[in-house]
Amino acid sequence: MGITGNKERCYDLWKDFSECISNCREPKDCALLREDYLECLHHAKEVELWIGICSANA
């Protein structure tokens, strides 16, 4: 639960990643789940995409 008492937007991704890390042999096995979780938190790929779109239209 988040500060407002509701489930935070990235909680499900965190839960999947956390379970994977707990049960995997090597952390690299969970790389895609980690990438999804970090994208949910920071939106880096989305920002990069928008910068590219804006640059192309300028």
CA–CA separation, 45 and 35 (whole Å):
10
Residue 1 is predicted with a pLDDT of 67
Structure tokens at 37: 């979780």
Q: What are phi and psi of 16, to 5 degrees?
A: -60, -45
Residue 30 is predicted with a pLDDT of 97
Q: Where are the alpha helices (DSSP H) in 1-58?
A: 11-23, 31-42, 44-57
Q: What is the pLDDT along the chain (58 residues), one digit of tens a residue?
A: 677 888 899 999 999 999 999 999 999 999 999 999 999 999 988 888 889 999 888 7
Say if pTM beats, i.e. exceeds, 0.85.
no
Tally Cβ neighbours within 10 Å of residue 13. 19
Residue 44 is predicted with a pLDDT of 87
